[in-house]
């Protein structure tokens, strides 16, 4: 097992069994619940591929903004399909880290721009946008061994994923985490601004007509409020490890 510089290693003795089995792991939840951090670290620990589906919705949003499309008008436009067809989105990897290309350009570092965050949930609720990303997401997971995070992975994109988790946290904690993250990246935002954007995105994501943010019936919920990254990661990986052990008849 490769060592992870952020945490002491190794703790998951059955990693080789998990790698052989290559289950897909779906991690869903609202904004700021810690999905991306946990999914990325879990993938690294298990030697799996990490895919952020939020990054794909963000890439389409960036593509629309670059084309100077008025997103409010686009939501009801009859040109949706033809505009979406002009975009090429692909996922690549650099030293194991996912990179997103839009129209042949690596745009990974622009996906958390404030303008993208402001519009992404409006874009993601458009049924044609969701349909155009569904196939790409399923193809990415078709060989197994993927940790995929999003809003509808366990409930809709990968309903047969072997492991499904739903991460939550209080809105106060989610806003606080996201504000610190943005401030660390040099964005000037107040806690109140971040909280109101998060609440708005949660509302749009939970109430849209196609594949809303929802906990799949068979998902394990982890409330991350007040827990460290290591505690949450431990809870999630322990569950995966225990389950693989149990299936192999090991205690």
Where do contacts with ligand CDP occur on this chain (CB under 6 A)? Answer: 31-32, 36, 53-54, 57-58, 120-121, 124, 150-153, 201, 205
Q: Which is nearer to ligand CDP, 23 or 32 (CB)?
A: 32
Q: Which is nearer to ligand CDP, 32 or 145 (CB)?
A: 32
Nearest residue to 30 (alpha-carbon basis) of 214, 228, 234 = 214
State the virtual CA torsion across 30, 171, 6, 187 in degrees, nearest 10. Answer: 90
Q: Which is nearer to ligand CDP, 23 or 54 (CB)?
A: 54
Closest distance of CB 83 from ligand CDP, Å: 18
Q: Which is nearer to ligand CDP, 15 or 31 (CB)?
A: 31
Closest distance of CB 21 from ligand CDP, Å: 24
Closest distance of CB 248 from ligand CDP, Å: 32
Closest distance of CB 120 from ligand CDP, Å: 4
Q: Which is nearer to ligand CDP, 69 or 198 (CB)?
A: 198
Enumerate the β-bridge partners of residue 59: none
Q: Which helix (H) or strand (E) is 49 found in, with range?
A: strand 49-52
Closest distance of CB 125 from ligand CDP, Å: 7
Nearest residue to 175 (alpha-carbon basis) of 29, 32, 30 = 32
Q: Which is nearer to ligand CDP, 45 or 177 (CB)?
A: 177
CA distances for 42 relative to 25, 27, 39, 69, 206, angstroms:
9, 10, 5, 37, 26
CA–CA gap between residue 147 and residue 159 (Å, rounded)? 14
Closest distance of CB 199 from ligand CDP, Å: 11
Task: State in Å, rounded, how far the first CA of the chain is from the last one.
Answer: 21
Q: Please give the residue whose beta carbon sits closest to ligand CDP in the complex.
A: 54
Task: Count the alpha carbons within 13 Å of 82 in the hemisphere toward its beta carbon.
Answer: 3
CA–CA gap between residue 1 and residue 170 (Å, rounded)? 34
């Amino acid at each position: 097992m490769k060592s992870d510089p952020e945490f002491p290693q190794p703790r998951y003795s059955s990693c080789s069994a998990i790698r052989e089995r290559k289950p897909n792991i779906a991690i869903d939840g609202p904004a700021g619940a810690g999905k991306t951090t946990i999914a990325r670290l879990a993938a690294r620990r298990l030697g799996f591929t990490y895919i952020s589906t939020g990054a794909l919705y963000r890439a389409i949003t960036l593509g629309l903004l670059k084309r100077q499309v008025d997103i409010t008008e686009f939501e009801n436009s009859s040109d949706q399909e033809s505009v979406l067809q002009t975009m090429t989105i692909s996922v690549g990897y650099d030293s194991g880290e996912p990179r997103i290309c839009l129209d042949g350009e690596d745009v990974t570092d622009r996906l958390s721009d404030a303008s993208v965050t402001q519009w992404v949930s409006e874009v993601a609720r458009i049924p044609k946008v969701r349909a155009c990303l569904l196939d790409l997401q399923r193809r990415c997971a078709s060989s197994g061994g993927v940790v995929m995070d999003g809003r509808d992975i366990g409930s809709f994109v990968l309903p047969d994923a072997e492991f499904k988790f739903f991460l939550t946290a209080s809105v106060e904690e989610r806003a606080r985490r996201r504000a610190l993250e943005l401030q660390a990246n040099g964005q000037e935002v107040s806690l109140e601004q971040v909280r109101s954007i998060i609440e708005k995105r949660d509302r749009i994501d939970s109430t849209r007509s196609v594949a809303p943010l929802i906990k799949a019936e068979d998902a394990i919920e982890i409330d991350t409020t007040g827990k460290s990254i290591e505690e949450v990661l431990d809870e999630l990986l322990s569950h995966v490890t225990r389950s693989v052990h149990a299936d192999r008849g090991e205690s």
